[in-house]
Amino acid sequence: MNDKYNNIISVNTSKNDNTIQLEYNSIIKNIYDNKFQKWFKLKDIVKLKNISYRSLKGMVAKVYNKYNDQGLIYRKGRRYYISYRILDSFKLEKPRKKRTIYDYEWKTNVSWTTLDFYDLEYHTTLFDEVKTTLSDVHFIGCVESDASGKNHVHILADHDTKYLRKPLKKILDQYLDDTRHYRLYCEQVNNIGGSVDYLMKNPQKLIN
């Protein structure tokens, strides 16, 4: 993980706390963007979006006409290359009844990092507390280690950020004292398929 992620927990405390949080959010968003696979072919999107290859071929011309001038989709021969930024442009008019984690309606990206080093078991305990407190929310999450060996957590949730932010902060305050000892990222998902792909493909420990 980017060293900035490890360092942001020690930011200048003379700054306004809102400024620190905005800086942290910006860094986490950039990390997500940089970690996502950048370009996908139609056959890659079959699994990510739970859409048949035939259906994707029927959609791609419209997506191409909309985003080609922005450099978000291009053709090489007969093959299309689609930026991760527009994966959610591929949608079925009637979503399949049987959903997968790739096309499920995830709404919020959550991440937290801590000032001190905590092991997998401790972060799993925190995640279990989150699931117990927010029992009406569906989650998928993982623990990842940065270059220094410090663990941090990434989670996807199917409720809005406004519903999640206060309970999450309360749990982290209870276990980690206050925001001097952790940073919480809780923002809207902008790319469902890419976010799930990030959790599943990287060398992380999934926690469910």
- Three-state SS for 23-45 is HHHHHHHHHHHHHCCCEECHHHH
Q: How far apart, in whole angstroms, are the C-alpha atoms of residue 86 and residue 134?
A: 30
Q: What separation in angstroms does the CA of 118 have from each of 93, 129, 144?
A: 45, 16, 12
- CB of 169 closer than 8 Å to CB of 133: no
CA dihedral 74, 76, 79, 84 (to 10 degrees): -30
Contacts with 78 (C-beta within 8 Å, 6 or more apart), sequence order = none
Helix, strand, coil % over all residues of the chain, rounded to 5: 50, 20, 30
At residue 203, the pLDDT reads 52
Run of H or E residues at 73: strand 73-76
pLDDT 10s digits, 131-181? 999 999 999 998 988 888 889 899 999 999 999 999 999 999 999 988 889
Measured in degrees and rounded to the nearest 5, phi and psi for residue 171 equal -65, -45
* Closest listed residue to residue 27, CA positions, set 50, 9, 40, 42: 9
Low-confidence ranges of the chain (pLDDT < 70): 1-37, 201-204, 208
Q: Give me the CATH topology for the region 9-36+102-207.
A: Alpha-Beta Plaits (3.30.70)
At residue 48, the pLDDT reads 78
At residue 14, the pLDDT reads 42
Residue ranges covered by each domain of the chain? 9-36+102-207, 39-89
Q: What separation in angstroms does the CA of 3 have from each of 11, 31, 39, 127, 149?
A: 13, 10, 25, 24, 11
